[in-house]
Amino acid sequence: MLIIESYTTAVILLIITMLCWGSWANTQKLATQKWPFQLFYWDYTLGIVLLALVFGLTMGSSGEMGRSFFNDLQQASGSALRSAFIGGIIFNIANLLLVAAIDIAGMAVAFPVGIGLALVLGVVVNYVAVPVGNPWMLFGGVLLVTVAIILDALAYRQKEQGKSVSNKGLWLSIIAGILMGFFFRFVAAAVATDFEYPQEGLMTPYSAVFVFSIGIFLSNFIWNTFFMYRPLKGERVTYGEYFSRGNLRLHLIGILGGVIWCVGMSFSMIASEQAGFAISYGLGQGATMVAAAWGVFVWKEFAEAPSKTQQLIYAMFTFFIIGLALVIIARVV
């Protein structure tokens, strides 16, 4: 299988992870102008499975190092398979709750609370399990990224002054953030720490991400079905509407969203041998700032915002860049 052998390459992959995790929601924005998020989400999960399988059959089966994709799946222990699968289940409900929170309470509440909690919890949980990197640099960087997320929230609040905050949306954000902080650890627990000579029973990143994707897709029949027929906001939708209201373009947009997200997840796991799981997760969850950048520079969400709000945006990106740098150098200091 394809293995990276330098920390520099790992950092490049993790920056791509951050870009992917912060960009996939643009496909949601494009698709849900025409149909509900719940229907888009089926194609999104399908895209995750397809990309995980393609990576497993290509990069996960090439070269002479490590174990090939199918051999790795065959030798995986029940506990490793179960752990990666549970990671998919947890991620799926966390992601759906976060999207529901955004729909109810808006970006200004849902993202800072949900992703802020996920960032802190995820880094702590993964560092305690596998302590790789300088903790002062790592957690200092996480703190600065958290400050950047808070500044992002303040900027959005100023932009949307006068709008009330939904308690339901706030609680959904908190629950989503807690769950999002733990899914990565379940997948990481199934992955070997030495990719060239992986421990027996554990999996390579390619196999673990594929099992994780199956957990997402199968759990969607439970979680997303609930959101379809008992939506927290808006009207209910049915399975029949997936076929009657959709067209090829809409389906492909959803699949593309899943592919983009799964590229990020795969690269995060591939980079974890060199970077450590805490740094891999921490850099990936900087995706909030990538999403903010899309809003600022592409969608022009702050084009008419007052100067005070613009100052918050500049401060947000400054804290984010410095925090990101600290997380990166935590592995080499």
**Each residue's pLDDT tens digit, 40-67:** 999 999 999 999 999 999 999 988 888 9
Domain that holds residue 320: 7-329
Q: What is the pLDDT of residues 75-104, one digit of tens each?
A: 999 999 999 999 999 999 999 998 888 778
- pLDDT at residue 285, as a whole number: 86
- pLDDT at residue 89, as a whole number: 98
Q: What is the pLDDT of residues 194-250, one digit of tens each?
A: 999 999 999 999 999 999 999 999 999 999 999 999 998 888 999 999 999 889 999
Q: Is residue 157 part of a domain?
A: yes
For range 120-138, the mean pLDDT: 94
Q: Is residue 154 part of a domain?
A: yes
- pLDDT at residue 241, as a whole number: 94
Q: Is residue 250 part of a domain?
A: yes
Q: Which two tokens stand for residue 22?
A: 């912060």
Q: Is residue 104 part of a domain?
A: yes
Query: How would residue 110 be classed by pLDDT, with cut points 50, 70 and 90?
Result: confident
Q: Which position has the higher pLDDT, 44 or 153?
A: 44
Q: What per-residue string of b and e applies to 91-123 under the rule 16 or more CB within 10 Å gives b?
A: bbbbbbbbbbbbbbbbbbbbbbbbbbbbbbbbb
- pLDDT at residue 165, as a whole number: 60
Whether residue 151 is predicted with pLDDT greater than 80 in this model: the reply is yes
Q: Is residue 46 part of a domain?
A: yes
Q: Is residue 2 part of a domain?
A: no
Contact indicator for 245, 32 with CB cutoff of 8 Å? no
Residue 170's alpha-carbon distances to 40, 107, 114, 152, 243, in angstroms, are 24, 11, 9, 16, 33
Q: Number of structural domains, the chain?
A: 1
Whether residue 173 is predicted with pLDDT greater than 90 in this model: the reply is no
Q: Which position has the higher pLDDT, 24 or 256?
A: 256
Q: Is residue 19 part of a domain?
A: yes
